[in-house]
Structure 1
Amino acid sequence: MASESKNEKDDIQVTNYSNPRVDIDHLSREKVICDDMVFYCFDVLHSHLHKNGSNLPRPSFPNNPFPLFVTWYVGREQRLRGCIGTFSPLHLHDGLKEYALTSAFEDTRFHPIGKEELPKLNCSVSLLTNFEPAKSWKDWEIGKHGIRIEFHNEKGHRRSATYLPEIASEQEWDHVETIDSLLRKGGYKSPITNEFRNTIDVTRYQSEKLTKSFNDWKNTRFA
């Protein structure tokens, strides 16, 4: 999904979606994310690029199902290099393995990540939790909630778009700016009125996110 946002960090791709609204499996869990989830994404990418999949270590973290995103950044300025995720809960071992590669090689905005880029990479893993239907398009907290909107476009087709929890605060957007940016991201081209905003279905959610660098991974795996 293309974004009309202030910079590349806003733009994420979602491959599939099954709305886990108020799903008890993703509400009020204790913190699950850990460093090794991010390191495992580096394991997967490194093994793939070096064609050495037989040496891929077994994950040491739990294998619970979660909606998730994997994001790759490159360079000191951490330019976005790929970000794809899913709102359909996946068991973490297979889900992180799949999306570590999908985000590295199948984000259509970028050419596939090459072996020479590995030392410059940072990786983020986001586990999505606490899905709830918002009472209105303003019923979410900037910096705490990610939101997914669903709406009907000018032709009556159902459309959707999402921003992860950190996006609105990073961009210094208020609720109106975030919602309007998501509408444009989802392909809505008509003037946006408050009346139209009131027709939007909003699901709010939270995330657990960790970011690690290639050097963090190397120092852990090869210490």
Structure 2
Amino acid sequence: MVTATKEMVVYCFDTLVAHYTGEEVLPPSFEDGQHPLFVTWKKVVNGGEPRLRGCIGSLQARGLINGFRDYALTSALRDRRFPPIQAKELPSLECTVSILTDYETANDYLDWEVGKHGIIIEFSDPDYNTRRSATYLPEVAAQEGWTQIEAIDSLIRKAGCNSTITESLRKGIHLTRYQSTLFTMHYGEYVSYVKQTRSAAPSIVGAK
């Protein structure tokens, strides 16, 4: 089974840095393959808890090289929940890459474990008679300290549903659970890695 690696995070940082410098991105040092994947950016301010700055990916299999290249930029610059990440924020960033595995259809909306499973919910919005869906990666509920129901209710809102959340609505959810492997690296670690492996620090001179 493929696992998330340091080199995948390095490639995401390389891609974002190149966006600001206009330089070419070095070829990645990991093998390609087809897998669902996500790229998550967080910002660390004054040594506090990292705050989400962008997270976008694909629940369907994508080529790893193209997928990480595309979602490194999409999650950093085009996550509608946040303004685009600016070059000056780079030193405060950490990046996590996730590769999703082990998709399973759950028996009901509580048939999953906090901290182990990511969840995809699909349901009918009672106010608009439309289908909605959303997902949280496996680490989200645990990091937020949520119970299963709190995570489900938050995900209903994330899906864009503003209806009153009732037990009937929850029971109507079709839930798919999955697991993931992930790797996280702070920008400072990325700089150290580049210095060690390329004999030069990454530069953002001429950032646009």
Match of 1:149 in 2: 121
Q: Does residue 65 in structure 1 map to residue 38 in structure 2?
A: no
Structure 1 pair 31–94 and aligned structure 2 pair: CA distance change class (3 A):
closer
Gap regions ≥5 residues in structure 2:
197-208
Q: Deviations over 1:88-126 (max 9, x none)?
A: 211111100001111111112222222222222111111
Kept after mapping to 1: 8 A contact 2:119/2:178: yes
2:72 to 97, 100, 103: 100
Kept after mapping to 1: 8 A contact 2:103/2:177: yes
Question: For 1:189 and 1:63, how far apart are their aligned partners in 2?
Answer: 40
1:194 to 167, 181, 191: 167
Q: Describe the SS at the equivalent of 2:39.
A: strand
TM-score w.r.t. the length of structure 2 is 0.87
Aligned length: 192
Kept after mapping to 2: 8 A contact 1:153/1:187: no
For 1:50, give the aligned amino acid. T
Kept after mapping to 1: 8 A contact 2:3/2:182: no
Kept after mapping to 1: 8 A contact 2:42/2:93: yes
CA RMSD across the alignment: 1.4
Q: Does residue 217 in structure 1 map to residue 190 in structure 2?
A: yes
Question: For 1:173 and 1:213, how far apart are their aligned partners in 2?
Answer: 25
Q: How far 1:187 sits from its partner (Å)? A: 2.8
For 1:58, give the aligned amino acid. P
Question: For 2:194 and 2:133, how far apart are their aligned partners in 1?
Answer: 40
TM-score w.r.t. the length of structure 1 is 0.81
2:20 to 49, 62, 66: 49
Q: How far 1:158 sits from its partner (Å)? A: 0.6
2:3 to 23, 29, 32: 32
For 2:177, give the aligned amino acid. R
For 1:40, give the aligned amino acid. Y
State, as a whole percentage, how many aligned pairs show the same letter: 46
1:101-120 equivalent positions in 2, closer than 5 A: 101-120=73-92
Question: For 1:188 and 1:213, how far apart are their aligned partners in 2?
Answer: 34
Q: Does residue 160 in structure 1 map to residue 133 in structure 2?
A: yes
Q: How far 1:192 sits from its partner (Å)? A: 2.6
Q: Which stretch shows the higher mean deviation, 38-47 or 187-196?
A: 187-196
Q: Describe the SS at the equivalent of 1:57.
A: coil
Kept after mapping to 1: 8 A contact 2:33/2:63: yes
Q: Stretches of 4+ moved more than 6 A in 1?
A: none
Q: How far 1:207 sits from its partner (Å)? A: 1.0
Q: How far 1:31 sits from its partner (Å)? A: 4.6
